[in-house]
Structure 1
């Protein structure tokens, strides 16, 4: 496990040393996205779990996930008042953070669940999503990061509101400098998002909604940078905020399981996990 974590920190540490920063290093975390499928029975208990490409994951991470997931309980899914077995796609963000003893504490930071199949015309679909320009000053400084966006989509498919929910950085600097980086990345992503267009649902329960709320991610990568399945990514998590138009219950889970360019409709779809992650309150 320590070897894999050291590899994940290698590129990040070079940038950190160039910034001459000490205090902010304590906030550095390592993350890894783990994907799979999960079946939940009529009582809300886990019936089956499969992990994507288990041979590409560090053995310690795979063992940790395989021990955690079967203990979860979910809100039972009912059809016409009768509990049914449901299978969903599953994403988990495993996070490691250095502890005071010099080791690493591993936890599941975020999970998300999505139906395996989506009926055509029942969800908001992407139409035009031109990526934003990389902020010139941040590119020259070698800064990179990810912006998690909340979008309010109107009935004509235009973006009525765009909001930077969280900005994670893969660059270390002073606290003030990192705030400016987050603001610049967030503003760049929000500006681009306001020009995006979507195709509203034409059938199903959501078709008559006044507006729709989406989550999406914009990743700012430099050359040779990027996410690879089964490898650690070092970053400093930014503070999380929310927009006033979104139902707080729909955004209670972290957005960090989203990959760049993907969209997630916030409409209470997918399984609802009742077990708190890592023993924390929900």
Structure 2
């Protein structure tokens, strides 16, 4: 399977080298897989157990990677009571594959998100309807596809006070200028809709008196003939990562804190209650 990932990346590279040069492409093209499941965290922060969703759909190399590194996880957990206690949390991981230059791939657990389903959400969705595919891209038949990572700062009444595009990853190939133009088109479409979204902020979140910031992933897919019942779980997705733009009002925010493990349409706090003490590794 690692060999298969290398072939996938190589195919993507072959379409890119003419426009961008092989050296640049090899450093930027990646393949990603999102893995979900559940973890039980002991009061001291050690991982007590974990369960993967649909493990049979995952490549054996990915399962082996998780079996090797997940048991050693340690967490910092902020509980509702403020006291150490056992916590069961939802888990989302981004497994990343990069070419190693020897015909194979290096697998790493790149990003992670852990959410406690028993803790009341400080923010709930009132209206977060997704944006439509940009008409500019349709009219010009650009075939743009990608994911826009948006940061929202909310007002106390749940309206959007400020927006920022942190990163845009493209799942199509083009020239450097073409990719930059595509990122701009998708980012503008995401922000235009995001400014109209509305949320409900809990009394507990308001009482903390801190600014309310969340991340959202917005997917744009150009697929005029989508396949019915198609599942992407357990499949590699090749993409070109875009440059990261620091949040203007929070330049100290950690870039890699869960960005790649986000699911489209979900809300992710910039200050999660469950954090890994140390980054995970890879093979």
Alignment TM-score, normalising by the size of structure 2? 0.85
Task: Identify the residue that residue 268 of structure 1 maps to in structure 2.
Answer: 272
User: 2:241 maps to which residue?
Assistant: 237
What corresponds to 2:87 in structure 1?
A: 86
Q: What residue in structure 1 maps to residue 198 of structure 2? A: 197
My pick for the range that moved more, 128-137 or 228-237, is 128-137
Shift of 1:40: 1.8
Given that 1:25 and 1:172 are in contact with CA atoms closer than 8 Å, whether structure 2 keeps it comes out as no
1:258 to 258, 262, 265: 262
**What's 2:110 paired with?**
109
Matched, 1:228 2:227: no
Could you tell me how far apart the structure 1 residues matched to 2:126 and 2:60 are? Answer: 40
CA distance in 1, matches of 2:161, 2:214: 11
Distance 1:267 1:206, change over 3 A: farther
* Residue aligning to 1:186: 187
Q: Is the 8 A contact 1:72 1:273 kept in 2?
A: yes
Change beyond 3 A, Cα 1:247–1:18: closer
Structure 1 segments unaligned to the other structure (5+ residues): none
Alignment deviations for residues 119-174 of structure 1 (CA, whole Å, 9 cap, x no partner)? 3xx52111122322322343412221000100011012211111101100011112
1:252–1:107 CA distance, 2 compared to 1 (3 A):
closer
TM norm structure 1: 0.85
Distance 2:73 2:99 in 1: 26
Q: In the alignment, is the contact (CA less than 8 A) between 1:57 and 1:230 conserved in 2?
A: yes
| Alignment match, 1:129 | 128
Quote the RMSD (CA, aligned, Å).
2.9
Matches of 1:168 and 1:78, distance apart in 2: 33
After superposition, give the CA deviation of every residue in 1:47-69 in whole Å (9 maximum; x if it has no partner): 11111110110111011112111
Preserved contact between residue 13 and residue 25 of structure 2 (Cα < 8 Å):
no
**Secondary structure in 1 matching 2:275:** coil
Map 1:1-282 onto structure 2 (within 5 A).
1-2=1-2, 4-5=4-5, 13=12, 16=15, 22-23=21-22, 25-26=25-26, 27-75=28-76, 83-119=84-120, 122-139=121-138, 140-201=141-202, 203-207=203-207, 209=209, 211-223=211-223, 224=226, 228-246=232-250, 248-249=252-253, 253-269=257-273, 271-278=274-281
Work out whether residues 30 and 239 of structure 2, in 8 Å CA contact, stay in contact via their aligned partners in 1.
Answer: yes
CA distance in 1, matches of 2:63, 2:100: 21
Q: How many residue pairs get matched?
A: 274
Measure the CA separation in 1 of the matches of 2:197 and 2:81: 38
Where do 5+ consecutive residues of structure 2 fail to align?
Answer: none
CA contact (8 A) 1:93 1:111 kept: yes
